[in-house]
């Protein structure tokens, strides 16, 4: 996962803010890959049956938060695209009007 994220960042196919987020996730999960029982003490304190249950719950919550953030980002970009499209349409209309005036001014 770390190698893929670094390669995407290097090729500029992933923005830095998202790359940093996924790098943090990969670094946080790395110790759990080597010591799967690392969460067991914490889960006992919380009264959860197993570390895997806690990990899966936190993973789902994290992915839901990422989904909400990306939906918000998508909505914002959609609004910006609509606004820019309207501005381009107005500018094209102005250019067409100026071209017509120039054509009329050329013909006696």
pLDDT at 12: 92
pLDDT at 67: 95
Q: For 75, left (φ over 0), alpha (ψ -120 to 50), or beta?
A: alpha
Query: Which positions of the chain have pLDDT values less than 70?
Result: 108
Q: Where are the domains of the chain?
A: 51-108
pLDDT at 83: 97
pTM comes to 0.72
Asked if 16 and 9 touch (Cβ cutoff 8 Å), the reply is: yes
């Amino acid at each position: 996962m770390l190698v893929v994220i670094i390669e995407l960042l290097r090729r500029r196919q992933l923005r830095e803010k998202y790359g940093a987020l996924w790098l943090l996730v990969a670094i946080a999960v790395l110790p759990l890959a080597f010591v799967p029982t690392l969460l067991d003490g914490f889960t006992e304190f919380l009264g959860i049956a197993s570390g895997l249950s806690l990990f899966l719950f936190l993973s789902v919550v994290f992915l839901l938060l990422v989904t909400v953030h990306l939906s918000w980002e998508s909505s914002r970009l959609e609004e910006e695209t609509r606004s820019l499209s309207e501005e381009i349409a107005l500018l094209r209309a102005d250019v067409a009007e100026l071209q017509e005036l120039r054509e009329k001014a050329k013909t006696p």
